[in-house]
């Protein structure tokens, strides 16, 4: 595959993004494994290592690696920001025509990369996600919650994948340049890409290995965070570019409902005066205060939609906003 050049510098065929946190033990083995695969495929490749504020010797280990077939570019965060932040920086700096992501714990196999490459280049997919059909994780704490999470995500997002959160994925370069990650949205990259207009999304069954070193970095809070992020994604996919369509409609209906109640109370008083019948003062009726609250709430919802529209149109892409303490750029 011919590789175009930018400003006279040849761009890589592939970019391999590896976010990591406290993975000093696994890094030498992982980098050597990736190097072997790249050499066997004959790719011109760059390896982007994003150290997410590791507390161990991960950054020092990265500095000692000298793979023969990889252009290593590494970034070290001043503190731990999370996986979405690490992937965001990797996406921002990636230059390869095909971009891979994989975890640093050796549970993802670099041997899967050629198969993913073929699906992107030869079969025309925009994004291919790995599917850990056979998982080597605890059943109660990971496997069962993962099945429930993926079933819910499929229903909410409309993207038919078995394993949204699989670390190993492949993308065409325009895909990673079109999605913006924040919070814990790395779980929903396929849905974000789908919402951005990239509809050719596939999956490939991949080998999942048992963790060789250390322990998992994700606690039980990921269940709550994942559910909240799914609600956020559902809202953003429908109203992210047009918040006034939601808040404006709700605000208008609430305001008109409250106003209608007030008008009804006034008409009721006028009729009572006309027919000389007993009546209660409007301000003495609980319904009046409910109506007043509805009017105020409706106005606030409408203003929230208006402010949301202003923010959507004024907010630039927030790509490289993380505090990077050190960088490393080592060519082959």
DSSP 184: T
Q: In the numeric block, which tokens belong to residue 92?
A: 């921002």
Kind of pairing, strands 169-172 and 127-131?
Answer: antiparallel
The CA-based angle 156-161-111, given to 5 degrees, is 150
Cβ 248 vs Cβ 302: under 8 Å: yes
The alpha helices in 42-163, defined as continuous H runs, are: 58-64, 83-93, 113-121, 144-157
* Dist. CA 278–CA 320, nearest whole Å: 69
Going 252 to 254 to 260 to 266, the CA torsion angle's sign is negative
Q: pLDDT category, 110, cuts 50, 70, 90?
A: very high
CA distances from 53 to 75, 225, 294, 322, 325 (A): 10, 21, 48, 11, 9
pLDDT digits (tens, 9 = 90+) for 298-324: 999 988 888 877 776 665 555 455 667
pLDDT digits (tens, 9 = 90+) for 278-299: 878 888 888 989 999 999 999 9
pLDDT at 246 over 70: yes
Q: Which segment of 126-140, 152-166, 198-212 scores lowest on mean pLDDT?
A: 126-140
Q: pLDDT category, 181, cuts 50, 70, 90?
A: confident
Q: Which residue has the higher pLDDT, 59 or 11?
A: 59
- DSSP H/E element including 14: strand 14-20
* 315 phi/psi in degrees, rounded to 5: -85, 120
For residues 168-196, average pLDDT? 89
Q: pLDDT category, 141, cuts 50, 70, 90?
A: low
């Amino acid at each position: 595959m011919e590789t175009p050049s930018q400003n006279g510098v040849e761009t890589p065929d592939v970019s391999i993004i590896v976010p990591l946190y406290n993975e000093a033990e696994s890094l030498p083995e992982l980098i050597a494994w990736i190097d072997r695969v790249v050499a066997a495929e004959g790719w011109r490749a760059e390896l982007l290592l994003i150290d997410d504020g590791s507390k161990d010797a991960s950054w020092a280990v990265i500095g000692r690696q000298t793979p023969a077939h990889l252009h290593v570019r590494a970034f070290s965060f001043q503190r731990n920001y999370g996986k979405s932040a690490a992937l965001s920086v990797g996406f921002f700096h990636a230059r390869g025509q095909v971009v891979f992501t994989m975890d640093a714990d050796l549970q993802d196999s670099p041997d899967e990369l050629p198969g993913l490459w073929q699906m992107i280049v030869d079969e025309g997919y925009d994004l291919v996600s790995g599917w850990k059909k056979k998982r080597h994780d605890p059943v109660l704490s990971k496997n069962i919650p993962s099945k429930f999470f993926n079933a819910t995500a499929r229903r909410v997002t409309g993207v038919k994948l078995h394993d949204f959160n699989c670390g190993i994925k492949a993308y065409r370069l325009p895909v990673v340049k079109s999605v913006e990650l924040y919070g814990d949205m790395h779980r929903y990259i396929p849905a974000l890409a789908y919402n951005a207009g990239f509809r050719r999304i596939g999956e490939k069954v991949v080998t999942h290995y048992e963790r060789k070193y250390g322990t998992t970095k994700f606690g039980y809070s990921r269940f709550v965070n994942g559910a909240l992020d799914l609600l956020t994604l559902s809202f953003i996919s429908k109203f992210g570019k047009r918040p006034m369509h939601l808040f404006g409609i709700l605000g208008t209906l609430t305001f008109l409902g409250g106003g209608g109640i007030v008008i009804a109370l006034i008409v009721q008083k006028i009729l009572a005066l006309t027919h000389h019948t007993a009546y209660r003062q409007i301000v003495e009726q609980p319904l009046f205060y409910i109506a007043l609250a509805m009017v105020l709430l409706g106005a606030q919802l409408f203003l929230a939609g208006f402010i949301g529209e202003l923010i959507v149109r004024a907010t630039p892409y927030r790509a490289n906003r993380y505090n990077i303490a050190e960088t490393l750029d080592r060519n082959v």
